[in-house]
Structure 1
Amino acid sequence: MNAFTIPVGPLHVALEEPMYFKVEVEGETVVSVDITAGHVHRGIEYLATKRSLYQNITLTERICSLCSNSHPETFCMAVERIAGVQLPERAEYLRVIAGEIKRIASHLFNVAIMAHLIGFDSLFMHVMETREVMQDIKESLFGNRMDLGANVIGGVRYDLDAERSAYLAAQMDRMDRDLAEIAHLYATNHSILQRTRGVGVLSHADALACAVVGPVARASGIAYDVRVKAPYAAYDRLDVPVHIESDGDVWCRAVTRLAEARAAVDLIRQCLRAMPEGPIAVAGRPAVPDGEAIAKCEAPRGELIYYLRTDGGKNPERLKWRVPSYMNWDALGIMMTGAKVADVPLIVNSIDPCISCTER
């Protein structure tokens, strides 16, 4: 059988962003894959050194749309470590709420796209309709459907009064019911199981070798979650379950995300019950001396790491981040090898890649 090359991308159905895959196939079977990145390089790490620490809160939030809250939160954590700032306890709980709201919306978007790629468009629309509840929550609480603008150095810029807390609690009850129904469909529907079980397998050993993170790692049996291993904000005072699967295929990655979305609903409820009274940010603008710090958080796609170095001036001397997709897309070569050409979009979508995060 003759081998030949299929160019996939840089524009294709599995991604909302450009990325080029050179797929070597024999017949309908993938033999190898080569990834060519760099189509959306924007030089943001350089731009960050030309803006003040406070301006960079806005800049980092625009690195990525689906995990836009994780970037400024982790950046603020790095600044706070250098400045020796201790967040008010209420602000820590409010940061958790903002992060978990984004996690639910991000995970639902990914599993909805999976249904679309399978051809199950009625399920795609059902999941996106459920996600729209989260979009309405974001618009109601933060004034924006994507970029929340929730974080400041030393705390948060939004608060929840009794009315907004009641609204959020009621919406979480609704989400709980809807997510249970969606999870049942993904766990039992024949069309989904037939197209995703045993497809794009990443074994536990290969997951360790590739150092994958987030739902991709947990779907291959790696019980690593920054919220548990290195708690930040208020996570050390919350019950954070780590959901893992063992088969490491496309289906396991989808059900892991759905389980984490349901867990996020419970985390928001825990925050609403336990959140103390008090200020939402430290008073004034803290002075930031020269120094360096590393901060990390569990973004929707996995471990997000920020490195910050300051020289006592208003601008950072160096700002760099390592995003989850950088670790995860290396595993695509293993996942795709031996797969069918028709499964390539499903496998790519299953790692939930963020190209703009990675290429920056």
Structure 2
Amino acid sequence: MKKPILALILLFGLSSLSTATEIALQDRHPDRYVVVKGDTLWGIAGKFLQEPWRWPEIWKMNKQQIKNPHWIYPGDMIVLDMSSGSPELRLVKSLETIKLSPRVRIEPAETNAIPSIPLAAIGPFLSKPLVIAEGELKKAPYIIGTEENRVILGAGNSAYVQSVMEGGALNWQIYRPGKALVDPDSNETLGYEAVYLGDARITRFGTPATIDITKSIQEINNGDRLVEMKEGATISYVPHSPEKTIFGRIVSAYGGVAEVGKGSIVTLNKGGQDGLEIGHVLALYRHGRNIARGEHDDTSPEIVKLPDERYGLVFVFRVFEKLSYALVMQSERPVQMLDDVRTP
């Protein structure tokens, strides 16, 4: 008689990250949860934890596991274990993710593993430069003419490019130089925005070359620049808090608006040189106003600063040397330019 096949249970009992405070569970947390397609690490963490960035602690994960967590797939079950007196998560692998054989074990492709955050929200920011050094686009080939002397181009139109020779890339992205990104504290120019306009494909190499515009999200004109298209990376880092104290500011928001909300992309004035890395979670703070106390009585008015208020969280998903992009994951009020981001 064949014995029943049991699912493989993985217990991550490796070296834990130090915890300053006890991990707080959600009031109505599940005892177990079956992962489904469309889930994210952030969303699952939020089902169990009041502070989702403490996900590595409840798994007892080490640094390498934080950076390469390709181990949770649709169909897997996550079980909350309280037997030790403190919360710990265990992973019960789905029978569909392993082939049970004495000799062969087949793991699912990493591309099927659930991502850290919704990729649809950040996809364009993974494959496009968007932050460039001064003058960097000047080296790129540019549009010198349009079919039938069109002034404005869009998807379905053809154009002529300064020079792309045989052997060059077929697929390109179209950009226009944008505004300077300036640190509000030091006044240092941290980089320049590159405004993404659309995609193009080479139909004839040479000087000039011919392109067909395959996608446009803004008007495209003579002088706009081409950058070779590159495949975007998948964001798989586990949400976690920086090990060092980070104190930064929001210097820009996608679309150039003054206020944004949950699900929006913001640019931070801190980057790799400051210790930021993909997967870091930072808290949003609004500066407290200065008010005059005593102006309604006979005493001289005294200026009092109200406390800074924490109101949300951002997830860092792309890091440059001096800047980084983050997705607003939680927000109790509109996110404004120059608001603070800090280690939670």
TM-score (norm. length: structure 1): 0.19
Choose between structure 1 and 2: higher helix proportion: 1
TM-score (norm. length: structure 2): 0.20
Choose between structure 1 and 2: higher strand proportion: 2
